[in-house]
A and B are shown apart, each in its own frame.
Chain A
Amino acid sequence: MKRFLLTTACLLMASPTLAAEIWVSNEKDDTISVIDVETLEVTRTIPTGERPRGITFNSDYSRLYICASDSDAVQVMDPVTGEILHDLPSGEDPEQFVLAPDNRHLWIANEDDAVTTVVDVETRKVVAQINVGIEPEGMAVSPDGKTVITTSETTNMAHWIDTESHQIYANSLVDARPRHAEFVNEGTELWVSAEIGGTISIFDTATQQEKAKIGFEIQGVHPDLIQPVGFEFTPDHKTAFVALGPSNHVAVIDAETLEVEGYILVGRRVWHLAFSPDHTRLFTTNGVSGDVTVIDVASRKPVKTIKVGRFPWGAAMKP
């Protein structure tokens, strides 16, 4: 018993107290800034390939996938050491991607080639390439893994792709320059943001028909500057936070009534968002001002802005 207690104590002392982190890709610096969620300070800056944009962790957070757009590769990083382990064949100019629930297939939007590439992260081989609209960007996967969405910026469409047949089975028109897509409410709804259109369209997943649209209006800000890009939902899916690009604000939406409840001032050209693990804080990447604003989710107020690299773009949480 004594030995057991001693061993347990030793083990407890040996295990490092890992704090939750927000990983941010810096598009112009070719780096990733790691922010400690507790201290709200940058603890590490890790070099990556050229022009890192979309980033995502696998389900056990043992690997980080990075869209290194100008290196024409998806890089795989060990988050503990910060070492790039290998590249995945991604097709040209990967911008955003989504990891399927099987934790194996990475669906990548190739902006310059108008294709969506499916890569098997284990065999490191391209499984399929699907022709989509011009300048694909936003990627989303349904919770059951049966449907993947690619939004194309210039064609202004959301393409519904069957993940088994790798065929597009529906196209839905969206307002100008769709940027980001998310499935909500157990996959029954699809939300798509349109950057130039300045709206978020909500589609019924069963019919692929648009059922609602949300517009934005900020007092004193020209409507042209209100450009919805990334958005995130609270775990109960009752509230959505939408990054509004060069308007320098994040909108708060009641996801049930679809009313805009308020706007939060953040840095310049806000791109994407990531929640802390307990969802009490929201981190926004502000491209032009080169920083990350931390929002207190309960009070919906910005509490701090943290300087990161040049042109922060994507954000991912690591518990």
Chain B
Amino acid sequence: MNNALTALIAICQRELLRFFGQRARMLAALVRPLIWLLVFAAGFRAALGLSITPPYETYITYESYIVPGLCGMILLFNGMQSSLSLVMDREMGTMRLLLTAPVPRWWLLSCKLIAGAVISVLQAYVFLAVCAMYGITFAPVSYILALPALFLTALMLGALGIALSSTVKQLENFAGVMNFVIFPMFFLSSALYPLWKMAEASALLRDICLVNPFTHGVEMIRFALYQKVDWINWAVTLVALAVFLGLALWGYNPAKRLISRKV
């Protein structure tokens, strides 16, 4: 247990040091959602139309609607970026060093996942602070209630990233992950448009959005920011986390061909 805790702290420290050492990464993580908020949302202010759907109890601006989705965007990109670092660790040989630690492999991966999620959540809170300065505020208690929703979504997306990283042999191949995972996951979700709006375009599109676990992560954050809970979102996100974590552990099993050849 002592070793396990030491490993967790060490990995978290390493990730945090790495993150704070890369100022450009923090800036990039913030600039991306801010461009969406300040440019995209401003242009689409009137285009969204009006409809009150839970958790909203009154009419909201598009800027307010898009904020939980942009928090999700931060978690998604950071989750994938953390897994990118795993590929790098493997190429550089750092992973071999890590694996010599006297703790089980599954715990090492979980530590990596938790460390990545902590950084994702930190970034999301910085973004929420910038939103507050821009005038999009939530009730003070909402920022506390959003923490478990943000953390669980970050874990789920991080687990997906780790599962994917086990299949990526080289750093160069990661561009494929961007095209085939991040973008579809983000655009085919309720991050930018509510599901009723998607249904107006096509019922199939709405159904695809509904099976996307990212949608449920975003909705979980949205509900938490308005001090509400939709247990279906929690259940889907938890199940997705379990599945992705299982896949990640399976992917990093030394008995598996991919990983045994590289590590």
A266 and B45 form a contact (CB under 8 A): no
- The contact of B60 among A221, A265, A268, A294, by CB within 8 Å, is A265
Complex A-B, nearest 4 residue pairs according to Cβ-Cβ distance, in ascending order:
A305-B58, A302-B58, A304-B57, A220-B45
B208 at the interface (CB under 8 A from A): no
Given A248-B59, A265-B59, A267-B59, the answer on whether A305 and B52 have CB atoms closer than 8 Å is: yes
Chain A residues lying within 8 Å of B58, measured Cβ to Cβ, are 265-266, 293-294, 302-305
A303 and B57 form a contact (CB under 8 A): yes
A71 at the interface (CB under 8 A from B): no
Chain A residues lying within 8 Å of B42, measured Cβ to Cβ, are 220
CB neighbors of B among A251-290 (8 A)? 265-268, 289
Chain A residues lying within 8 Å of B52, measured Cβ to Cβ, are 305
Identity of the chain B residue whose Cβ is nearest the Cβ of A220 in the assembled complex: B45
Chain B residues lying within 8 Å of A268, measured Cβ to Cβ, are 50
CB distance from B64 to the nearest CB of A (A): 9
Counting contact residues on chain B (CB < 8 A from A), the size range is: 10 to 19
CA of A59 to CA of B99, assembled, Å: 82
CB distance from A102 to the nearest CB of B (A): 39
Chain A residues lying within 8 Å of B59, measured Cβ to Cβ, are 248, 265-267, 293, 302, 305
B110 at the interface (CB under 8 A from A): no
- Told that A268-B50, A303-B57, A304-B57 touch, could you supply 18 new A-B pairs with CB distance under 8 A? A220-B42, A220-B45, A220-B46, A221-B46, A248-B59, A265-B58, A265-B60, A265-B61, A266-B58, A267-B50, A289-B50, A294-B58, A302-B58, A304-B58, A305-B52, A305-B57, A305-B58, A305-B59
CB distance from A158 to the nearest CB of B (A): 32
Q: Which of A220, A221, A248, A266 has the most chain B CB within a 10 Å cutoff?
A: A220
Identity of the chain B residue whose Cβ is nearest the Cβ of A267 in the assembled complex: B59
Q: B-contacting residues of A (Cβ < 8 Å)?
A: 220-221, 248, 265-268, 289, 293-294, 302-305
What mask results when residues 50 to 68 of chain B are scored 1 for a CB within 8 Å of chain A, else 0? 1010000111110000000
CB neighbors of A among B51-87 (8 A)? 52, 57-61
CA of A289 to CA of B57, assembled, Å: 14
Chain B residues lying within 8 Å of A305, measured Cβ to Cβ, are 52, 57-59
Chain A residues lying within 8 Å of B50, measured Cβ to Cβ, are 248, 267-268, 289
Identity of the chain B residue whose Cβ is nearest the Cβ of A295 in the assembled complex: B58
Chain B residues lying within 8 Å of A293, measured Cβ to Cβ, are 58-59
CB distance from B56 to the nearest CB of A (A): 9
CA of A294 to CA of B52, assembled, Å: 14
Identity of the chain A residue whose Cβ is nearest the Cβ of B60 in the assembled complex: A265
Identity of the chain A residue whose Cβ is nearest the Cβ of B46 in the assembled complex: A220
What are 21 A-to-B residue pairs whose CB atoms are below 8 Å?
A220-B42, A220-B45, A220-B46, A221-B46, A248-B59, A265-B58, A265-B59, A265-B60, A265-B61, A266-B59, A267-B50, A268-B50, A294-B58, A302-B59, A303-B57, A303-B58, A304-B57, A304-B58, A305-B52, A305-B57, A305-B59
Identity of the chain A residue whose Cβ is nearest the Cβ of B137 in the assembled complex: A301
Identity of the chain B residue whose Cβ is nearest the Cβ of A222 in the assembled complex: B46
CB distance from B172 to the nearest CB of A (A): 43
CB distance from A35 to the nearest CB of B (A): 14
Identity of the chain A residue whose Cβ is nearest the Cβ of B42 in the assembled complex: A220
CA of A266 to CA of B52, assembled, Å: 11
CB distance from A39 to the nearest CB of B (A): 13
CA of A112 to CA of B244, assembled, Å: 70
CA of A248 to CA of B57, assembled, Å: 16
CB distance from A218 to the nearest CB of B (A): 11
CB distance from A41 to the nearest CB of B (A): 12
Chain A residues lying within 8 Å of B45, measured Cβ to Cβ, are 220
Identity of the chain B residue whose Cβ is nearest the Cβ of A307 in the assembled complex: B52
CB distance from A216 to the nearest CB of B (A): 17
Chain B residues lying within 8 Å of A221, measured Cβ to Cβ, are 46
Chain B residues lying within 8 Å of A304, measured Cβ to Cβ, are 57-58
CB distance from B57 to the nearest CB of A (A): 4
CB distance from B38 to the nearest CB of A (A): 13
CB distance from A312 to the nearest CB of B (A): 15
CB distance from B190 to the nearest CB of A (A): 20
Q: Which of B50, B59, B61 has the most chain A CB within a 10 Å cutoff?
A: B59
CA of A304 to CA of B57, assembled, Å: 5
CA of A303 to CA of B226, assembled, Å: 11
CA of A98 to CA of B42, assembled, Å: 42
CA of A51 to CA of B50, assembled, Å: 26
